[in-house]
Amino acid sequence: MSETVETPHPLEQLPGDLMMWVLIVSELLVFGAGLAAFLAVRIGDPAGFAAAQDHLHRAAAGLNTVVLVTSGLLAALAVRAREADKRLRTRCLLAGASVLGLVFLVIKGMEYADKAAAGIGVETHPFFTFYYLLTGFHAAHVLAGVIILGLVGWKDSPRSVEVGAAFWHMVDLVWVLLFPVIYLLR
Amino acid sequence: MKYQTQKIAYAYFAVAMALFAVQVTMGLVLGYIYVQPNFLAEILPFNIGRMLHTNSLVVWLLTGFFGAAYFLIPEESEREIHSPKLAYLQLAILVIGTAGVVVTYLFNLFEGNFLLGKEGREFLEQPRWVKVGIVVAALIFLYNVTMTVLKGKKTAISNILLIGLWGLALLFLFAFYNPSNLALDKQYWWYVIHLWVEGVWELIMASILAYLMLKLTGVDREVVEKWLYVIVATALFSGILGTGHHYYWIGTPGYWQWIGSIFSSLEVIPFFAMMAFAFVMVWKGRRDHPNKAALLWSLGCATLAFFGAGVWGFLHTLHGVNYYTHGTQITAAHGHLAFFGAYVCLNLAIFTYAMPILKGRDPYNQVLNMASFWLMSGGMVFMTFTLTFAGTVQTHMQRVVGEAFMDVQDQIAIFFWMRLGSGVAVVIGVFLFLYAIWVPGREVIEPGPTVRAAAE
């Protein structure tokens, strides 16, 4: 990432802001390392991991995937609307993306509450340590993303909308990676 | 020197260099005690010597940072320092506090006294009155430089430097909070120790390095600033949660092992970026600055920081590895090269750049200074290798085979002898550096093709 700065021309062509790309690459490294560690620890206890995974709501997580990907679509449409100078439409689309982000958090919160009620905590099993760390860290990014979408909707220069959408797509992408590995992989 | 108040840095650098001499001399004594444990056992117990070695290191590095800020802020903000009087008052407080610390430690005065006694918390042993003095000095400093920057031109370099220095002062406040629960004590202790050297100090380092690159290579400010922002972003991204790599075995919840391992692994990135930055700037630079020694120290700083802090840090940062290496000589190897590379070399780079300007004898012969770089760095790298081998053998014999601590120490004595030898080289290098900075004033030479070839 940073070592490529010596050739500024391709970097200048990146949509949005260089710093957002530094952040996105850093985030992907963290989630990638977390998933790799999850898979490595899983090798030592496949049966325990499978049994723990059965406690998860696959349907709720599947629904959440639809919610978040749809939200990403709205953010992408918002960038296009802003480029066409339709500012009201941009703001409506960003608001829609944010609301879907909040829906994601509500469903996620119900999932966490359910786990807590069943007495499942972060120390219950290594599977749940990674489950809480990875999905919790991701949920924190969804919350941050909702705030960022709100900010770029308020100060809605085309560049800002692009930067906000780039972050939101990263949050989207991370979920699409977390969902199959944590919820579905047998 | 464009601004008169840059002269303040002269006094700070002088104090810093005096303490530097004390610090490395004490290091040599400690290296000798390692192989001859009864040396000075009655009058200077090892733990007291170690406190002086580490505390004087931190104090002289900080004094150097303060001096560097007083030197570069006037140039960056294009105006004189708000109040030179306050700057000298701040230095006086720091000097009195340091003297108080040394006397209190050496003679073990006022033991157990709330205000005057030493506190017995590693690296934060200073008596409470000294801690208060440090806070007062830091407040004076922050008031002084913030007022200067607010009234003058604001640049990325001075902004990042100020954020780093503000963070440094605010995080030090955790030194006053000492819960009786040992796990909590350690948790907050790292807020000072870790978030200093792997957080805000990196901002200070990046901004001073950026200033030096700007001056020495003549690359556009815009390019330097872009690098600076990337370095700072990656430093904070990895460094803050990287604190988790100290929370593996102190009683904090188990998930810290993963948070610490993952984030602290990424702490290599800002150090790699700083090294890449320094070299790319030199390759791109059009300016042939006469101060080759400052350039050598800057490049050496970025390189040795990458290896000492980055590579040697990563070496034992994963919790699966650290389970075996924790608290062995591996830690000592990392500690020495990381502090030397990142913060000692940085200070020596800014001293080498600024002192000829402050003394008004620029350009001058810097062969001795450059020789001191190779002697000091070579000695320190050799020391790092010997301690790494010592730590590897120690880890195996003590943690894997299960032999007793002192039995293992006996069997790795050869490495401690070699470490003492490399320590001698470092100390000679330090005194050569001090000589090169202070003494050969009249040896001013004309810049010409022969000099340039010799310097390169």
**pLDDT tens, position by position, A112-141:** 999 999 999 999 999 999 999 999 999 999
Identify all chain B residues contacting A29, using CB atoms and an 8 Å cutoff. 266
Smallest Cα distance from B400 to chain A, Å? 22
Judge: B230–A2 Cβ closer than 8 Å, yes or no: yes
**Percent of chain B whose predicted confidence (pLDDT) is above 90:** 89
At residue B451, does pLDDT exceed 60?
A: no
- Residue A9: band (very low, low, confident or very high) from pLDDT cuts 50, 70, 90: low
Nearest CB neighbour to B255, from listed A1, A22, A129:
A129
CA distance B18 to B189: 28
**Residue A15 clears pLDDT 90, i.e. is over it:** no
Percent of chain B with pLDDT over 70: 96
Query: For A44-59, what is each residue's pLDDT tens digit?
Result: 999 999 999 999 999 9
Residue tagged 């402050």 (tokens): B358
Q: What is the CATH number of the domain that holds A147?
A: 1.20.120.80
What pLDDT is stored for residue A165 in this prediction?
A: 96
pLDDT for the residue A7: 56
> pLDDT band at residue B439, thresholds of 50, 70 and 90?
confident
Give whichever of A10-14, B22-26, B449-453 has the largest mean pLDDT: B22-26
Inter-chain residue contact B233 with A19, CB threshold 8 Å = yes
* Of the candidates B293, B304, B341, the residue with the CA atom closest to the CA atom of residue B456: B293
CATH of span B219-442: 1.20.210.10
Of B231, B259, B272, the CB nearest to A133: B259
Token couple for B248 = 């593996």
Share of chain A above pLDDT 70, in %: 95
B363 prior amide bond cis, ω within 30: yes
The separation between CA A24 and the C-alpha centre of its own chain, rounded to angstroms, equals: 11
N residues, chain B: 456
As beta bridge partners, residue B444 has B364
- Is A33–B255 a contact, with Cβ atoms under 8 angstroms apart? no
> Per-residue pLDDT for A10 more than 80?
no
A58-70: average pLDDT: 96
Of B237, B272, B276, the CB nearest to A26: B237
How many domains in chain A?
1
Residue B389 or B287, more confident: B389
Q: Where are the domains of chain B?
A: 1-154, 219-442
- Chain A residues in contact with B254 by the CB 8 A cut-off are 123, 129
Enter the DSSP assignment of B243. Answer: G
Q: Which domain holds residue A95?
A: 18-184
User: Would you state the pLDDT for residue B449?
Assistant: 52
Residues of chain B found within 8 Å of residue A23, distances taken between Cβ atoms: 233, 237
For the stretch B19-49, pLDDT in tens is 999 999 999 999 999 999 999 999 999 999 9
Long-range contacts of A56-59 (CB under 8 A, 24+ apart): A56/A111, A56/A131, A56/A182, A56/A183, A57/A111, A57/A114, A58/A183, A58/A184
Indicate if the pLDDT at residue B429 is higher than 50: yes
Contact B266 A132 (CB under 8 A): no
Distance set, CA A25 to CA A60, A165, B183 (Å): 28, 15, 34
CA distance B191 to chain A (A): 21
Mean pLDDT, range B113-135, rounded to an integer = 91
- Any idea which of B159-168, B345-354, B433-442 has the lowest mean pLDDT? B433-442
Which tens digits make up the pLDDT trace of A70-104? 999 999 999 999 999 999 999 999 999 999 999 99
Sorting pLDDT into bands at 50, 70 and 90, what band is B441?
Answer: low
Give the pLDDT score at A186. Answer: 85
pLDDT of B455 higher than 80: no
Residues of A with CB under 8 A from a CB of B: 1-3, 5-6, 8, 18-19, 22-23, 26, 29-30, 33-34, 37, 122-123, 129-130, 132-133
A123 contact residues in B (CB cutoff 8 A): 253-255
Q: What is the pLDDT of residue A16?
A: 82
CB contacts of B234 in chain A (<8 Å) are 2, 22, 26
**Mean pLDDT of chain B, nearest integer:** 94
Tokens encoding A163: 């930067």
Classify residue A12: in a domain, yes or no: no
CATH of domain B1-154: 1.20.120
Contact of B269 with chain A, judged by CB distance below 8 Å, is answered with yes
List the one residue out of A37, A172, A154, A51 whose CA is nearest residue A101. Answer: A172
User: Which tokens belong to A14?
Assistant: 């990146």
A142 Cβ contact partners less than 8 Å away, ≥ 6 residues apart = A68, A101, A104, A105, A108, A171
In chain A, whose CA is at the least distance from the CA of B276?
Answer: A3
Please check the confidence at residue B284 and state whether its pLDDT lies above 70: yes
Note whether A33 contacts B265, CB cutoff 8 Å: yes
pLDDT at residue B414 greater than cutoff 60? yes
Q: Note whether residue A55 is domain-resident.
A: yes
Per DSSP, the three-state class of A133 is helix
- Quote the pTM value: 0.92
CA distances from B121 to B27, B45, B126, B179 (A): 20, 17, 8, 11
Average pLDDT over residues B230-248: 97
CB atoms A129 and B258 under 8 Å: yes
Taking only the tens place, the pLDDT of each residue in B68-85 is: 999 999 999 999 999 999
What is the DSSP secondary structure assignment for residue B114, as one 8-state letter? T
**Interface residue B368 vs chain A (CB under 8 A):** no
* Residue A10: burial class (beta carbons within 10 Å; 0-12, 13-18, 19+): exposed
The band of B442, judged by pLDDT with boundaries at 50, 70 and 90, is low
> Which residues of chain B does A17 touch, with a Cβ-Cβ cutoff of 8 Å?
none
pLDDT of residue B35: 96
Q: Is B428 helix (H, G, I), strand (E, B) or coil?
A: helix
pLDDT tens-digit map of B15-27: 999 999 999 999 9
Neighbouring CB atoms inside 10 A of B236's CB total 18
Instruction: Say if A62 falls within a structural domain.
Output: yes
Mean pLDDT of B225-252: 96
Q: Chain B: residue nearest A29 by CA? A: B266
Is B240 touching A (CB cutoff 8 A)? no
Contact check, Cβ <8 Å, B266/A123: no
pLDDT of residue B456: 41
